[in-house]
Amino acid sequence: MRSLSGVKPTGGLHIGNYFGAIRQFVELQEKYECYYFIADYHTLNTHMDPALLTKTTWDIVADYLALGLDPERSTIFLQSMVPEVAELTFLLSNITPMGLLQRAHSYKDQIAKGLQPNHGLFTYPLLMASDILLYDSNVVPVGKDQKQHLEITRDIAMKFNQEYGEEVFTLPDPLILESVAVVPGTDGQKMSKSYGNTIEMFAPAKQLKKQIMSIVTDATSLEAPKDPDKCNVVALYKLFADKTQVAAMEANYRAGNYGYGHAKMELHRALLEYFGPMREKREALTQDRAFITQVLEEGSRRARATAIKKIRKVKKIMGLVGDVYGK
């Protein structure tokens, strides 16, 4: 059984990425054959600064390793180092109804904002389907925002299998942990790189503190009792504090004379404790570019070997005589 997932290198990883997705990537290494990649093709529709894209890509490999992905157990690769995914996207585009892509949230959101989406954004769910189907993935650990993309992937796989009369593509299941499906950001909406409301576990200590201090709270005075169930600081604290610690903070809220500033300081402390060892590992990895390069090269070579086998099979089934050289 295979687990596969990817993250776009659009900026520093945040605790929403970790609790919503990457922690599951790490746990699944125990039971599954794992493929985890950096989805760099997926950033191109936003015209990111090329130098920043390159830097963020390297950073995310280091993040993956520091957070617990093990290159001995997981194939860690770069999407664009397996160009067969672009070929599969083209092949599948011929059986993908326009309507299916027109219903995608990413496309509809742009239209609703009066923007003129480019073709890359329009076909983004199809590229994602190809990422998944190329590797016969059984489970795909993601946050809730990716649910629709998994449904689209299944639709495309079923359509292809029906049209060509064979179970060519495996139907993948999303793996969404409801308890952390949507980690809130500092402003209370979903934490996301694109909303500028993130808490980044690998940010320098000063910046991390600033992000935590910027969590929006209401105007209740320090002395007054507060409702812990309505506070974002508590919601975030629950992600990594143990039961006793959470109960203590909740009791402090209810008792009064405990300000949001106190809660934020405690959140900061707990966060540094939780991510401390990973921050140290991350720091060491930044000094070892050779190792990171090796991980990415070896992983991408392995992933590509799997991809080539699959694409040959797909082309053959479609009647394409693409295999006359290099068996």
Summarize as ranges the residues that interact with ligand TRP (CB under 6 A). Answer: 4-8, 39, 42, 128, 131-132, 140, 142, 146, 149
Report the residue number, 60 or 311, with the smaller CB distance to ligand ADP.
Answer: 60
Run of H or E residues at 99 = helix 98-102
CB of 10 to ligand TRP, least distance (A): 9
Distance (Å, whole) CA 210 – CA 268: 10
How many CB atoms sit inside 10 A of residue 204's CB?
A: 10
Is residue 182 a contact point for ligand ADP (CB under 6 A)?
yes
Distance (Å, whole) CA 327 – CA 312: 9
Distance (Å, whole) CA 94 – CA 96: 6
Is residue 232 a contact point for ligand ADP (CB under 6 A)?
no
Run of H or E residues at 140 = strand 139-141
Structure tokens at 32: 């599954």
Is residue 154 a contact point for ligand ADP (CB under 6 A)?
no
Report the residue number, 183 or 267, with the smaller CB distance to ligand ADP.
Answer: 183
Is residue 46 a contact point for ligand ADP (CB under 6 A)?
no
Distance (Å, whole) CA 146 – CA 182: 11
Q: Which does 42 bind (CB under 5 to 8 A by kind): ligand ADP, ligand TRP, none?
A: ligand TRP
Distance (Å, whole) CA 17 – CA 308: 30
Is residue 23 a contact point for ligand ADP (CB under 6 A)?
no
Q: Is 174 helix (H, G, I), strand (E, B) or coil?
A: strand
Distance (Å, whole) CA 64 – CA 55: 14
Is residue 193 a contact point for ligand ADP (CB under 6 A)?
yes
Q: Which does 40 bind (CB under 5 to 8 A by kind): ligand ADP, ligand TRP, none?
A: none
Structure tokens at 208: 């991390």
Is residue 16 a contact point for ligand ADP (CB under 6 A)?
yes
CB of 322 to ligand TRP, least distance (A): 25
Structure tokens at 102: 């027109």
Q: Which does 140 bind (CB under 5 to 8 A by kind): ligand ADP, ligand TRP, none?
A: ligand TRP
Q: Which residues in the 110-149 window bind ligand ADP by CB under 6 A? A: 142-143, 145-146
- Among 3, 17, 57, 79, interactor with ligand ADP by CB under 6 A: 17
Report the residue number, 128 or 168, with the smaller CB distance to ligand TRP.
Answer: 128
Q: Which does 192 bind (CB under 5 to 8 A by kind): ligand TRP, ligand ADP, none?
A: ligand ADP
CB of 149 to ligand TRP, least distance (A): 6
How many CB atoms sit inside 10 A of residue 155's CB?
A: 16
- Among 4, 21, 201, 212, interactor with ligand ADP by CB under 6 A: 21
- Among 3, 10, 96, 153, interactor with ligand ADP by CB under 6 A: 10
Smallest CA-to-CA distance from 200 within 40, 14, 28 is with: 14
If you search the block for the tokens 């950033």, which residue do you land on?
Answer: 43
Report the residue number, 46 or 162, with the smaller CB distance to ligand ADP.
Answer: 46
Query: Distance of CA 165 to CAs 51, 57, 137, 150, 262, Å?
Result: 45, 39, 20, 22, 63
Chain-centre distance for alpha carbon 113: 24
Positions touching ligand ADP (CB under 6 A) are: 7-8, 10, 16-17, 20-21, 142-143, 145-146, 180, 182-183, 190-194
